[in-house]
């Protein structure tokens, strides 16, 4: 039995108050084990990014608990949370979130360097991650000197470096063509299979099909789970 | 494509003769499915033999009218409410089934679309799982991979289409529009009954 690395327990998230109140999440619960990839699908505005930012400790739930390995995120001190985020959680943002004044390789190596890993070693790990995304040759460019799809792959490479145990990806292939998307999901799946817990938000059913389970979210609630259990059915010749 | 089930589905709305069935099915599928009248008659004969419908005599023009039996109703109901496997041929059947279903009062089309989405997603998962296990560097796997990818993209297309029509159905319902159709007046044409 694999260990549960990420757990959301009855998480609610309300933005704003009174007239402007938005119930982005209405009691979402979720467990992800080591080696398991869970995909989240749902319409625009259904709460997918909210769920992921809360799972990654970027937002605090209004009520409910978020547990990563043996930590309850809402109870951590800011410094402890920052360390956990840097060391344990790989996060791919929907809008990439690269630092414009750092080169591609510096962006990817940053979390390691902040943790005191020697620059040479951090750069080596960053280059490996970039090469796994097939963009090693872009290492010394700045984010505004590469294409949107390349920026997206830098963001994914950044989430791969270091001993991350939880990988959270928000539309990680939104800017990629289908061949590159497949390369990315294969690489992601390989990381997960090595014992990481992953959550993937996507609109692309082809991508979601690589997950062990697909959760469908509607109006802030998980309304359905589709597990990958059946054997392939015979397709028409 | 299930001519058989479509005939039964229309007959759940009332008695019809063969030519009328052809017209009903054509109009309920937006004119996109025109069944050969000979096929309608031969299917009617088989359905009668199997006890799924019965003839109720002929009208003035000598056209035999048919009525669905209880077991025929059950078969129609089952067809209208279950998902189909995702093969390319079946996909056309799905379109015709959904088109017919929206015209039939009391048919829960949203439930059908949902069941189909889950079924198609499962197929996509299963296809992806087999693809995952294939060695991409083995050239002998390439032909298989090409076909698998076609099936994968077809599943995706179907899912997007289903998601789209789910939205269309919801919008139609929200506007209070009702796509149900009762049987139309039979046209005064068609093949007379065979003299037995
Ligand atoms: N900071 C915020 N303040 C107020 N409302 C917010 C905030 N962030 C998100 N929301 C609202 O919460 C709901 C869920 O948003 P969320 O970003 O989680 O959607 P999503 O499922 O990721 O959509 P998309 O597919 O478009 O990325 C939306 O109605 C959104 O407008
Ligand atoms: Mg989002």
Give tens-digit pLDDT for A85-144.
989 999 998 888 999 999 999 999 998 998 899 999 999 999 999 999 999 999 999 999
Q: Which of A218, A197, A173 has its CA nearest to residue A26?
A: A218
Residue A209, both tokens = 């099909």
Rounded Cα distance between B50 and B7, Å, is: 14
Q: Give the pLDDT band (50/70/90) at residue B150.
A: confident
Q: Which of A29, A30, A52 has its CA nearest to residue A159?
A: A52
Residue, of B36 and A230, whose pLDDT is higher? B36
Please tell me the residue having the least CA distance from ligand 1 atom 27.
Answer: A44
Q: Does the CB atom of residue A148 touch ligand 1 within 6 A?
A: no
Nearest CB partner across the interface for A205, out of B89, B130, B156: B156
What does the pLDDT read at residue A234? Answer: 38
Does the interface ipTM go beyond 0.90?
Answer: no
What does the pLDDT read at residue B57? Answer: 85
Per the DSSP assignment, residues forming a β-bridge with A214 are: A39, A226
Q: Are A129 and A161 in contact (CB under 8 A)?
A: yes
Give contacts of A234 with chain B, Cβ < 8 Å.
Answer: 85
Locate the domains of chain B by residue range.
3-80, 88-174
What CATH number is given for B3-80 in this structure? 1.10.10.10
Which atom of ligand 1 is the closest one to the Cα of A20? 4
Q: Are A197 and A31 in contact (CB under 8 A)?
A: no
If you measure from the C-alpha of residue B47 to the centroid of ligand 2, how many angstroms do you get, rounded to a whole number? 52
Query: Domain A4-228 has what CATH class?
Result: alpha beta
Strands A221-227, A213-218: pairing kind: antiparallel
What is the length of chain B? 196
The rounded percent of chain B whose pLDDT value lies above 70 is: 92
Give contacts of B152 with chain A, Cβ < 8 Å.
Answer: 206, 209
Locate the domains of chain A by residue range.
4-228
Which residue of A206, A211, A215, A225 to mutate against B (max B Cβ within 10 Å)? A206
Q: Which of A220, A223, A183, A182 has its CA nearest to residue A204?
A: A182
Please tell me the residue having the least CA distance from ligand 1 atom 7.
Answer: A15
Q: Give the pLDDT band (50/70/90) at residue B148.
A: confident
The pLDDT of B22-44, averaged and rounded, is 87
Cβ contact B125–A230 (<8 Å): yes
Q: Are A11 and A28 in contact (CB under 8 A)?
A: yes
């Amino acid at each position: 039995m694999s260990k549960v690395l990420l757990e959301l327990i009855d998480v609610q998230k309300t933005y704003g108050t009174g007239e402007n109140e938005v119930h982005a999440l209405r009691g979402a619960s979720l467990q992800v084990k080591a080696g398991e990839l869970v995909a989240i699908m749902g319409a625009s505005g259904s709460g997918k990014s909210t769920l992921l930012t809360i799972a990654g400790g970027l937002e605090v739930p209004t009520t409910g608990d978020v547990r990563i390995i043996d930590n309850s995120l809402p109870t951590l001190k800011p410094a402890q949370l920052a360390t956990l985020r840097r060391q344990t959680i790989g996060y791919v943002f929907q809008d990439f979130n690269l630092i414009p004044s750092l080169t591609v390789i510096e962006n990817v190596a940053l979390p390691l360097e902040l943790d005191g890993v020697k620059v040479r070693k951090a750069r080596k790990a960053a280059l490996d991650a970039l090469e796994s995304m097939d963009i090693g040759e872009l290492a010394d460019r700045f984010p505004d000197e590469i294409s949107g799809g390349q920026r997206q792959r830098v963001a994914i490479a950044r989430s791969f470096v270091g001993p991350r145990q939880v990988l959270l990806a928000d539309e990680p292939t939104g800017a990629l063509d289908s061949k590159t998307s497949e390369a990315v999901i294969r690489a992601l799946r390989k990381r997960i299979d090595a014992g990481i817990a992953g959550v993937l938000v996507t609109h692309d059913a082809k991508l979601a099909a690589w997950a062990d389970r697909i959760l469908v979210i509607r109006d802030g609630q998980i309304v359905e789970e589709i597990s990958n259990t059946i054997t392939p059915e015979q397709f028409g010749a | 494509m299930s001519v058989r089930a479509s005939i039964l589905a229309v007959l759940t709305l009332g008695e019809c003769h063969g030519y009328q069935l052809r017209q009903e099915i054509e109009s309920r599928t937006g004119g996109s499915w025109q069944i050969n009248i000979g096929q309608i008659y031969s299917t009617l004969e088989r359905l009668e033999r199997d006890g799924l419908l019965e003839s109720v005599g002929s009208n003035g023009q000598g056209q035999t009218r048919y009525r669905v039996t209880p077991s025929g109703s059950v078969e129609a109901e089952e067809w209208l409410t279950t998902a189909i496997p995702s093969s390319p041929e079946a996909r056309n059947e799905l379109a015709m089934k959904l088109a017919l279903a929206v015209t039939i009062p009391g048919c829960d089309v949203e439930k059908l679309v949902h069941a189909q989405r889950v079924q198609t997603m499962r197929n996509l998962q299963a296809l992806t799982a087999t693809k995952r296990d294939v060695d991409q560097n083995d050239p002998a796997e390439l032909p298989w991979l090409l076909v698998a990818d076609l099936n994968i993209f077809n599943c995706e297309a179907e899912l997007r289409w289903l998601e789209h029509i789910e939205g269309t159905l919801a919008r139609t319902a929200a506007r209070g529009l009702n796509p149900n159709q009762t049987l139309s007046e039979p046209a005064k044409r068609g093949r007379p009954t065979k003299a037995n």
